[in-house]
Amino acid sequence: MKYSFNEKIDRTGNHAAKWEEMGKKFISDDLWPMWIADMDLKTAPEIIEAMREKVEQGIFGYVYRPDSYYQAAADWLERRFGYKIDPATLINSPGVVPTLSLLVRSMTKPGEKILIQSPVYYPFAATIRDNGREVVENKLVKDDEGYYTIDFEDFEKKVSDESIGLFIMCSPHNPVGRVWKREELQKMSDLCLKYKVRVISDEIWRDIIMPGHKHIPTASLGKEIENNTITCFSPTKTFNIAGLQASFVTFPRREEWEKFDNELGILDIKRNSPFSLVAFETGYTKCDEWVNQLVEHLNGNMDYVINFIREKIPEIKVKKPEGTYLMWLDFSALGLCKEDTSKFMQEKCKIALDDGFWFGENGIGFERMNIACPRYMVEEGMNRIEKAVKEWREGK
């Protein structure tokens, strides 16, 4: 079946945060929305049909999770990534960020240090600080082409600090778009083992991988590493169902699974909604080809942006992401401070992007753009940026 990803969908009037909450983050609701990480694309028709059947029943009471729910998640992992796990190691949670918060609270004490790699998804740092812990950064290194690598000398220095017991990894990495190579994952994991630092691997972007790259589950690198790694993932990015708010965590140690289950019970957030239940299982059992074609569409949008910038806005620097549907645009050549870069995007370009400084101080001068949308939206966004940069160029 051939799926369409260029249908124009009017999301206004449907309480879409991406379109109608801009006024809370930006100067106006009247900007071109290419920020928050959901897609302006319909989810797979197989998921829509499964949810339609649930709607037509007309009863939306409490639901339980059948064994097939976790089995579908485990089968997808084995089928797509060659990594087999016991479904009994999985547990459902409301989302990856709530999971991180619960893990930070249960695995560390107030005042303890937690390592992240910046620039990185900003809820990482917020979750750590909001729970009274201290953020420690292993800053990623960018070359002249915009390609990011790990400063392993600094990484070892940080994990060897006895006050650090937890490392939260983003794999694939948001926002810089790296899909970590096996040797990179191996070296980070080995160092964490050496210095007795537990790893939480956020792998929510694992299914959005561009041609020529391969996501490797961190825990698949060997039994020792598997036993040291808690993995978070979700089909929400994969199938554009983030509003259904549920995810998975896999625990290698049963006592930690039980402790996490108990925490969910205390908060009474252990159940799925009727819709997340059917959507997740349907996605993992019937939507492989939809994801394959989605990635082709996203790859085409990325190539369009890169070619457009190369031909018309050479002041902007961008490296094609290896994974995610997020492009990390470098506006530093415009010589603007972080606040002025943000103003430029909103006041001159009339576009809403995620400001780079949200992701850490080493994100200043950057903007994160979401290209998971029909092509016309990408074209409109790039035309707005070109017009504003042209005016900046003429005003120099």
Instruction: Tell me if residue 92 falls in helix, strand or coil.
Output: strand
Q: Is residue 231 part of a domain?
A: yes
Separation in Å, CA 74 to CA 88, 264, 273, 383: 10, 21, 20, 43
Separation in Å, CA 292 to CA 1, 51, 259, 318, 326: 11, 22, 37, 24, 17
Q: Is residue 97 part of a domain?
A: yes
Q: pTM of whole model > 0.85? A: yes
Last residue of a domain, one of 227, 253, 286: 286
Domain that holds residue 173: 60-286
Q: What is the CA radius of gyration of the chain?
A: 21
| 228 & 351 share domain | no
Q: Is residue 150 part of a domain?
A: yes
Q: Is residue 53 part of a domain?
A: no
| 163 & 302 share domain | no
| 106 & 26 share domain | no
pLDDT tens, residue by residue, 206-228: 999 999 999 999 999 999 999 99
| 298 & 153 share domain | no
Chain mean position to CA 180: 14
Note the pLDDT of residue 382. Answer: 98
Last residue of a domain, one of 266, 286, 306: 286
DSSP state for residue 244 in the 8-state scheme: G
In the numeric block, which tokens belong to residue 100? 């991180």
Neighbours of 357 (CB within 10 A): 20
- Both ends of the chain: CA-CA distance in Å? 52
| 254 & 307 share domain | no
Q: Is residue 319 part of a domain?
A: yes
Note the pLDDT of residue 160. Answer: 98
| 255 & 310 share domain | no
Task: Find the angle CA(384)-CA(374)-CA(119) to the nearest 5 degrees.
Answer: 65
| 34 & 65 share domain | no
Q: Is residue 135 part of a domain?
A: yes
Q: ω before 94 within 30° of 0 (cis)?
A: no
| 210 & 76 share domain | yes
Last residue of a domain, one of 245, 265, 286: 286
| 276 & 353 share domain | no
Q: Is residue 123 part of a domain?
A: yes
> Going residue by residue through the chain (396 aa), what tens digit of pLDDT does each one get?
899 999 999 999 999 999 999 999 999 999 999 999 999 999 999 999 999 999 999 999 999 999 999 999 999 999 999 999 999 999 999 999 999 999 999 999 999 999 999 999 999 999 999 999 999 999 999 999 999 999 999 999 999 999 999 999 999 999 999 999 999 999 999 999 999 999 999 999 999 999 999 999 999 999 999 999 999 999 999 999 999 999 999 999 999 999 999 999 999 999 999 999 999 999 999 999 999 999 999 999 999 999 999 999 999 999 999 999 999 999 999 999 999 999 999 999 999 999 999 999 999 999 999 999 999 999 999 999 999 999 999 886
Note the pLDDT of residue 396. Answer: 67
Note the pLDDT of residue 394. Answer: 87
Q: Is residue 33 part of a domain?
A: yes
Number of structural domains, the chain?
A: 2
| 36 & 111 share domain | no
| 139 & 37 share domain | no
| 326 & 388 share domain | yes
